[in-house]
Structures are given as C-alpha cells and as structure tokens.
Amino acid sequence: MQTTERAGCRRCGERLPVGGRGRVPSYCSTRCRVAAYRARRAEEALPPELARGRRWVRRDGKRPIRADNGRSASATDPFTWTTHPRAARSEHGDGLGRVLAAGDRLVCIDLDHCLSGGRLAGWARKIVDRCPPTYTEVSPSGTGLHIWGRGEVTRGRRIRRPDGAHIEVYGAGRYIALGRRHERSPLELADLSDLVAELT
C-alpha cells in the first residue's frame, strides 16, 4: 500500500507519511515530540512573581475578558480577575492577560513596533542593553517587546521620540496582553526603578 507524504516533522523537518485512516502525525518520533513539548513549556514559563496572585484575565484580541464566562473584564475591577492556573485553563478568547495593580510593585515597559524579522530596532536595543537581566516577552503582534520587572509607576506614560521610539511604561490600572518568552530571558524579575526613571 502506498503512502502519501506531507510537510515534515514540526520539530526536525523529517517528512512524514500518512498513517492509518489518512492520519498524519505531527512529529517523526517520540524524541521530537518530547523536545517540542519541553520547548513549548519553556516558552510558556513565567517568573513566580508574575504568575502568583489573582491578577489574571483572558484576552480577545487586545480586549480583556473574564476567564470564567468570556465577558468583558476591567483592569480596575478585581471581581473580573482570576488566578493564573484558572486563566490558563480557560478556553475563552485568544490568550492570557496580566493586570497591573497598585501595591504589587510590578512594572511593564512596552516597546512598540521595535521588532522586524526578529531584529531589534536601534532605539530598542539601547534600552534592552541598559536593562538588568529580567523576564521579557515578545508581544502577541510579534512586533513589540514587554520588559517585566519590579518598581513603582503610579501613573502610566506613553513616550514618543524623534528616533522612532514608541515606549509605554505601566505599573497600575492596566492589563498587558501576554505574548511569548523572548529568546532565553530569565524567569525572574529585576528591579527596573533606574531604567523607569531614565525613560520617564
């Protein structure tokens, strides 16, 4: 009996034959399946400080929604938030969102439109190079970076500079749509107080 071939293994690219009932596996071997699973887990991992607490929502595009029923959530209404495990299990929307709330001492520096073809714009590279090692993720659009850390930002700021920089700095009353871990950024949060002071 002849077998038809399709695109290759999602891990190594090896071509895959169609099996019984026309089913095509995603991976060529258990080794590739396990390696892909571990890579996925590493990409989805979060620093404990970021994951803990009842500060989680789901997102529908850029709109925050509740994990329990898919209705609108609010970055200022704790009743619409939940824990990370519950939000991660929810099937509502496209992905996760983390609420920044007063008193948590968490900040997010959002570098908009700084990634193209995986390369950082010069202005963004300067900021990343000044930043202590801390958890960083690629935004859901694939064109921005979220730099997470500790610090105090009582009022969010949007910064536009002549060099093309589009920077947003938030610490409360805002939710951030989570993307995916940037390269091998550490699973810990650094103190970003000095960097925030420079930017704002």
Can 110 be counted among the known catalytic residues?
yes
Instruction: Determine the straight-line distance between the first and last CA of the chain, rounded to whole angstroms.
Output: 68
Indicate if 112 belongs to the active site: yes
168 is catalytic: yes
Nearest to 54 by CA among 33, 85, 16, 18: 85
Q: Is 91 a known active-site residue?
A: no
- HSE-CB at 169 with a 13 A cutoff on CA atoms is 22
Question: Is 55 exposed, middle or buried, given 0-12, 13-18 or 19+ CB atoms closer than 10 A?
Answer: buried
Q: Which of 84, 137, 146, 182 is an active site residue? A: 146
3-state DSSP assignment of residue 147: strand
- The set of residues, in sequence order, having a beta carbon less than 8 Å from that of 46 and lying 6+ positions away, is 84, 135, 187
Q: How many other C-beta atoms can be found within 10 angstroms of the C-beta atom of residue 43?
A: 14
- Look up residue 127 and give its DSSP letter: H
Among residues 112, 152, 188, 191, the one annotated as catalytic is 112
What are the catalytic residues?
110, 112, 146, 168
